[in-house]
Structure 1
């Protein structure tokens, strides 16, 4: 099984999100507020969310090709959809799959 498969797997992405130390991130974000670093923090967070959305997209595409018509019934796809939706909403992206 290629390592790239695990990089884009929904469980890997979820673990990355859950393991984020929000307290330290919040502190550094607040320190940068109103400074020239604010845009850096905003860009960094946006890029991380966009990267995760791309990875979820690759994961869903791979699962569709592996499973076919049962795609939407698999537990991993059912777990991926709300995570994808929440990430899109965090960037004010329209949910194209609603």
Structure 2
């Protein structure tokens, strides 16, 4: 668990949030967020659930292994919308996006 605080900090920074901003989204105080990132306290399931909704890869934070199936909330919303379209639209979007690379 020694590396968990640094992985949590890295995920927060990846989102471009300060400790205070991240703490608000996670439903904790800035002091509690600091304790988590310093390894002086372990986060609970409620906290982990809330930060997962913000786009944090919880499997990575806890184990150090990136989740290949992990989707942020925005990515999941986009996928949900995409799946509701007629079959020809996702194919056209895929073709268009492949040309952007």
TM-score relative to the length of structure 1: 0.35
